[in-house]
Structure 1
Amino acid sequence: MAHELVNDELWEIVQPLLPAKRRRRMHPGRKRLDDRRVLTGILFVLQSGIPWEMLPQEMGCGSGMTCWWRLRAWQKAGVWTQLHRVLLTKLRGADQLDFSRVVADSSSVRAPSMGEKTGPNPTDRRKTGSKHHLLVDAQGVPVNVILTKANRHDITQLMPLVEGVAPIAGKRGRPIHKPRCVQADRGYDSQQHRLALEMRGIGHQIAKRRTAHGSHLGKTRWVVERTIACLHQFRRLRVRYERLPSIHEAFLRLGRAIICWRTLKNSFC
Structure 2
Amino acid sequence: MLADLVPDALWERVAPLLPPPPERRRRYPGRLRVSDRTALAGVLYVLRTGVAWRDMPVERVGCSGVTAWRRLRDWTEAGVWPRLHEVLLAELRTTGLLEMDDCAIDGSHVRALKRGDHTGPSPVDRARPGSKHHLIVDRHGTPVAVTLTGGNRHDVTQLLPLLEAIPHIRGLRGRPRRRPRRLFADRGYDFDKYRRLLWKRGIKPVIARRGVAHGSGLGKTRWVVERTFAWLHQFKRLRIRYEVRADLHLGLLQLACSVICLRRLRTSF
TM range, normalised to the smaller chain? Answer: over 0.9
2:7 is matched with 7
**Matched residue pairs, number?**
268
Alignment of 1:162-173 (within 5 A): 162-173=163-174
AA aligned opposite 2:12: E
2:17 is matched with 17
CA shift in 2, pair 1:184/1:267, >3 Å: farther
1:151, CA displacement in angstroms? 0.6
Q: Select between 258-267 and 73-82 the one with higher mean Cα deviation.
A: 258-267
For 1:60 and 1:34, how far apart are their aligned partners in 2?
12
Q: Select between 205-214 and 176-185 the one with higher mean Cα deviation.
A: 205-214
1:179 is matched with 180
Q: Select between 32-41 and 20-29 the one with higher mean Cα deviation.
A: 20-29
For 2:9 and 2:131, how far apart are their aligned partners in 1?
34
1:14, CA displacement in angstroms? 0.6
1:78 is matched with 79
1:48-104 per-residue CA deviation (whole Å, 9 max, x = no partner) reads 000001111112431111100100110010100010000001111111100111100
1:266, CA displacement in angstroms? 2.8
1:132-168 per-residue CA deviation (whole Å, 9 max, x = no partner) reads 0000001100000011000100000001111211111
1:173, CA displacement in angstroms? 1.5
2:259 is matched with 258
1:46, CA displacement in angstroms? 0.2
CA shift in 2, pair 1:60/1:154, >3 Å: closer
For 2:238 and 2:57, how far apart are their aligned partners in 1?
20
For 1:189 and 1:84, how far apart are their aligned partners in 2?
30
CA shift in 2, pair 1:34/1:137, >3 Å: same
Structure 2, unaligned runs of 5 or more: none
For 1:241 and 1:164, how far apart are their aligned partners in 2?
24
Q: Select between 11-20 and 25-34 the one with higher mean Cα deviation.
A: 25-34
2:146 is matched with 145
AA aligned opposite 1:263: R
2:48 is matched with 47
Counterpart contact for 2:50–2:237, Cα < 8 Å: yes
For 1:51 and 1:79, how far apart are their aligned partners in 2?
23
1:38 is matched with 39
Q: Select between 145-154 and 166-175 the one with higher mean Cα deviation.
A: 166-175
1:31, CA displacement in angstroms? 1.6
1:159 is matched with 160
For 2:137 and 2:56, how far apart are their aligned partners in 1?
32
For 2:61 and 2:116, how far apart are their aligned partners in 1?
31
Other structure's SS at 2:241 match: coil
CA shift in 2, pair 1:183/1:242, >3 Å: same
CA shift in 2, pair 1:121/1:267, >3 Å: farther
Counterpart contact for 2:41–2:61, Cα < 8 Å: no
1:216 is matched with 217
Counterpart contact for 2:135–2:147, Cα < 8 Å: yes
Other structure's SS at 1:147 match: strand
Identity of matched residues, %: 53
Other structure's SS at 2:105 match: strand
AA aligned opposite 1:71: L
Scaled by the length of structure 1, the TM-score of the pair is 0.97
1:267, CA displacement in angstroms? 6.2
Scaled by the length of structure 2, the TM-score of the pair is 0.97
AA aligned opposite 1:202: I
